Amino acid sequence: MTIEEQLIKGVQEAVKSLYGLEAIAQQVQLQKTRDEFEGHLTVVVFPFVKAARKSPEMVGDEIGKYLVENVGDVVAKYNVVKGFLNLVISDAPWINLLNNINADEQFGFQPVTDNSPLVMIEYSSPNTNKPLHLGHVRNNLLGSALARIVEANGNKVVKTNIVNDRGIHICKSMLAWLKWGNGETPESSGKKGDHLIGDYYVAFDKHYREEVKELVAQGMEEEKAKQEAPLIKEAHEMLVKWEQNDPEVRSLWKKMNEWVYAGFDETYKMMGVSFDKIYYESDTYLEGKEKVIEGLEKGLFYRREDGSVWADLTAEGLDEKLLLRSDGTSVYMTQDIGTAKLRFQDFPIDKMIYVVGNEQNYHFQVLSILLDKLGFKWGKDLVHFSYGMVELPNGKMKSREGTVVDADDLMEAMIADAYEASKERVKQTSMPEDEAREVARKVGLGALKYFILKVDARKNMLFNPEESIDFNGNTGPFIQYTYARIASILRKAKEQGIDIPTELSTVNCQLSTKETELIQKLNQFPVAVRQAGTDYSPSGICNYCYELTKAFNQFYHDFTILGEADAELKQFRLSLAKAVAKVISLGMGLLGIEMPERM
């Protein structure tokens, strides 16, 4: 039983014995005692005043006395302020709590068993024509944090990714490479494969726009020019050849996609994200086509005169949705139907979560209805974890084309900034260069991850690199710094030969509120994990870690740990600090943020 549960039970017994009142647990209101009063937890006595026919002060006093006499191992003292009964909790239950926290390696996490539900979480899902950008960073961080949080709530999790590896976008890069590439490779150019292909995509666009401009200058309408430009026609021809399995086109496609994947892998590794199963659109789009034809035959969809296939969703309050073009080629939606089919064939999925930006809200609304119509029983309940846009303040880190911020460049810049920020401190300590680099990696990436994850996912946001790397305030580095500080205290204790047992025996030193509050905060970690799992909210974990870190710093500001003269109390405080470090590292671990042992 928790302290709160024991108190509630005690109060129920008190009012029964004192006033013959059968109170239900909900009638017993417990609050954290306000700072200006002595005590840890406060009972609101007003609900019992009527049955007692006494003043609130008297009722408080009687219940208080009863609790000290009957649950004395929990309640040490009490005082009454108006209708509020403030209880001072004795040391033993706090020590018990702390011992439990220290003993449980996976404190706050639900175990995953064979019978746990299986949740598939899709995130990342890039196209293969360009490298990952800032939007993908938010996506990957949210998706992988969500995966860890959902798993910590006792679910089996399959992390998945759908790579959109076919279509006109990749044909554009391929064509540009054929035309202007002179056989350039990642090796010959020294560029990461995804960057190389991205550069050709940009080159295509540049030449294409020139062609359109010229056609418009010759008097063609812009819309027509966009379709008639020779480059786009050529790209379309290439796509048709790809669909016909043309060996040359296919082998070029394969080669270029391999380059891109090698590049993506590096980015994922640096970011610390991974997948259990990756799907490729080239494997799923035909499955989708088949499903659409099936739906057509069942009368769920209809064919227009030009041969295209549509779903009429007007009855659902939506519009009509194209599923197959008149030439029989598939669209984005078709692929998603096929991908869903394969995924549910491969895994006994109980819940499917798609982490995709909010510009695709409509797409997933439609997908859910279509899957439902097609008879997938899970279609209706699919979750679109929809998140907002992320941008950098104007002028910061524009990529070469001046449009998007490249993920690799961003991570590199963050790590470089973290290195700069700690240069002076590193000089004063004897930290070897390779450790300093490793710390900078953890801090730079920690700053980036924390800053992005602390924001409610649904909101648009501005990522501010300078603010994120601040060592004070609601930032990753502030929390990492506090962790490193605790680690250093624990190291010193060890050097002094002080043993910190996992299981403390009860001390009797009247723990201060700062100390017991810190234990209370630690004890709320499981609640925070559960809440983050129910709300799908990594930001809830950020918040928790920040609050815990602040509470520790307040405690550390007011009390000494290693300087404490009382050996028992010193051991208690070390044990408390150790628990804080552990919970910080578990919480930040859920966010994919690593903790440096020194900083």
- Of 126 and 540, nearer to ligand ARG (C-beta) is 126
- Of 361 and 534, nearer to ligand ARG (C-beta) is 361
With 0-12 / 13-18 / 19 or more C-beta atoms within 10 angstroms meaning exposed / middle / buried, residue 432 is exposed
**354 near ligand ARG, judged by CB under 6 A:** yes
Residue of 86, 164, 330, 422 interacting with ligand ARG (CB under 6 A): 164
**Residues 164/356, Cβ–Cβ less than 8 Å:** no
Q: Tell me the two tokens of residue 215.
A: 């056609």
Taking the complex as a whole, how short is the minimal distance between the CB of residue 285 and ligand ARG, in angstroms? 12
Residue of 23, 196, 356, 532 interacting with ligand ARG (CB under 6 A): 356
Taking the complex as a whole, how short is the minimal distance between the CB of residue 494 and ligand ARG, in angstroms? 49
Q: Which residue is nearest to ligand ARG (CB)?
A: 125
Taking the complex as a whole, how short is the minimal distance between the CB of residue 363 and ligand ARG, in angstroms? 7
According to CB under 6 A, which residues from 502 to 521 bind ligand ARG? none
Taking the complex as a whole, how short is the minimal distance between the CB of residue 163 and ligand ARG, in angstroms? 8
Residue of 98, 162, 469, 579 interacting with ligand ARG (CB under 6 A): 162
Q: What is the 3-state secondary structure (H, E, C) of 264-318?
A: HHHHHHHHCCCCCEEEEHHHHHHHHHHHHHHHHHCCCCEECCCCCEEEECHHHCC
String marking each residue 98-137 x if it binds ligand ARG according to CB under 6 A: ------------------------x--xxx----------
Q: How many residues of this chain interact with ligand ARG, rule: CB under 6 A?
A: 9
String marking each residue 267-286 x if it binds ligand ARG according to CB under 6 A: --------------------
- Of 91 and 265, nearer to ligand ARG (C-beta) is 265
What is the dihedral angle through the alpha carbons of 227, 228, 231, 236, rounded to the nearest 10 degrees? Answer: 60
Angle at 527 between CA 512 and CA 12, to 5 degrees: 70
Continuous H helices in 460-566:
465-468, 476-495, 513-523, 525-535, 538-558
- Of 78 and 242, nearer to ligand ARG (C-beta) is 242
Q: Which of 131, 135, 119, 124 is nearest to 162 (CA)?
A: 124
- Of 80 and 382, nearer to ligand ARG (C-beta) is 382
Residue of 336, 408, 517, 594 interacting with ligand ARG (CB under 6 A): 336
Residue 417 CA: distances (Å) to CA of 134, 305, 318, 412: 17, 60, 48, 9
Residue 82 CA: distances (Å) to CA of 7, 58, 155: 20, 9, 47
- Of 536 and 555, nearer to ligand ARG (C-beta) is 536
Taking the complex as a whole, how short is the minimal distance between the CB of residue 333 and ligand ARG, in angstroms? 9
Cα(109)–Cα(118) distance, integer angstroms: 16
Q: Which of 26, 28, 55, 25 is nearest to 44 (CA)?
A: 28
Taking the complex as a whole, how short is the minimal distance between the CB of residue 457 and ligand ARG, in angstroms? 15
- Of 127 and 386, nearer to ligand ARG (C-beta) is 127
Q: Tell me the two tokens of residue 401.
A: 């084309």
**Residues 172/201, Cβ–Cβ less than 8 Å:** yes
- Of 125 and 422, nearer to ligand ARG (C-beta) is 125
- Of 128 and 571, nearer to ligand ARG (C-beta) is 128
Name the phi and psi angles at 48, rounded to 5: -105, -5
Beta-bridge partner residues of 321: 311
Taking the complex as a whole, how short is the minimal distance between the CB of residue 141 and ligand ARG, in angstroms? 16
Taking the complex as a whole, how short is the minimal distance between the CB of residue 114 and ligand ARG, in angstroms? 28
According to CB under 6 A, which residues from 359 to 398 bind ligand ARG? none
Q: Tell me the two tokens of residue 507.
A: 């001390």
- Of 23 and 352, nearer to ligand ARG (C-beta) is 352
- Of 354 and 552, nearer to ligand ARG (C-beta) is 354
Which amino acid type is present at position 397?
A: M
**Residues 130/406, Cβ–Cβ less than 8 Å:** no
Taking the complex as a whole, how short is the minimal distance between the CB of residue 526 and ligand ARG, in angstroms? 32
String marking each residue 294-333 x if it binds ligand ARG according to CB under 6 A: ----------------------------------------
**Buried b / exposed e along 294-329 (16+ C-beta atoms within 10 A):** ebbeeeebeeeeeebbbbebeeeeeeebbbbeeeeb
- Of 59 and 355, nearer to ligand ARG (C-beta) is 355
Taking the complex as a whole, how short is the minimal distance between the CB of residue 5 and ligand ARG, in angstroms? 44
Q: Which of 271, 549, 539 is nearest to 415 (CA)?
A: 271
Query: Contacts from 425-428 at CB under 8 Å and sequence distance 24+?
Result: 425/599
CA 201 to chain centre: 31
String marking each residue 171-210 x if it binds ligand ARG according to CB under 6 A: ----------------------------------------
**By the criterion CB under 6 A, which residues form the site for ligand ARG?**
122, 125-127, 162, 164, 336, 354, 356
